[in-house]
């Protein structure tokens, strides 16, 4: 868990560094555009970090209630960590959006249908019926070889 929060902290530091670059721009229109792109990038990076941690948590066939309880606890811890990391409401909103989206993805992982293995039948397979339109072209018949005279 602390690894995820530290990765989110690194993503937040990268966000702040990009924000400093954006603040150096002279034109206001570009500042707003790049600030929105920077916030979207922070959301996407944090979402990927959290999704990866949920993917490690969701294994083959554990009980769903156990997974839901673990995801709930994990989400609560992530939200608390995000509140500690972000003082700004805009940044906190981006982190919360990322955490909620990642939790939604985890929910989908938990409730995804497991692919069923094909069931083999013990009955014999029937011959494939070929329609006249799809019948392959017939080849000419070969004549049998004649036996070579003995020496």
Whole-number Å distance between alpha carbons of 10 and 6: 6
Residue 48, pLDDT above cutoff 90: yes
Is the pLDDT confidence value at 115 over 90?
no
State mean pLDDT over 103-125: 70
> What is the mean pLDDT of the segment spanning 91-120?
80
Neighbours of 116 (CB within 10 A): 6
**pLDDT for position 47:** 92
Could you tell me what percent of the chain has a pLDDT over 90?
Answer: 13
Q: In the predicted model, what is the mean pLDDT of residues 62-82?
A: 87
All structural domains of the chain with their residue ranges: 2-111
Q: What span, in angstroms and rounded, lies between the C-alpha atoms of 34 and 106?
A: 30
Token code pair at residue 82: 């995000």
């Amino acid at each position: 868990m602390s690894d995820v929060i530290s990765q989110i902290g690194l993503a937040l530091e990268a966000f702040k560094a990009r924000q400093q670059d954006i603040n150096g721009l002279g034109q206001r229109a570009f500042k707003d555009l790049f600030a929105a792109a920077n916030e979207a990038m922070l959301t996407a990076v944090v979402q990927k970090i959290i999704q990866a941690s949920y993917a490690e948590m969701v294994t083959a066939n554990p009980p769903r209630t156990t997974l839901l309880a673990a995801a709930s606890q994990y989400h609560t811890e992530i939200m608390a960590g995000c509140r500690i990391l972000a003082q700004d409401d805009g940044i906190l909103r981006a982190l919360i959006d990322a955490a909620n989206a990642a939790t939604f993805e985890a929910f989908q992982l938990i409730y995804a249908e497991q692919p069923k293995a094909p069931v083999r039948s013990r009955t014999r397979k029937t011959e494939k019926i070929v329609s006249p339109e799809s019948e392959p072209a017939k080849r000419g018949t070969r004549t049998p070889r004649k036996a070579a005279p003995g020496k």
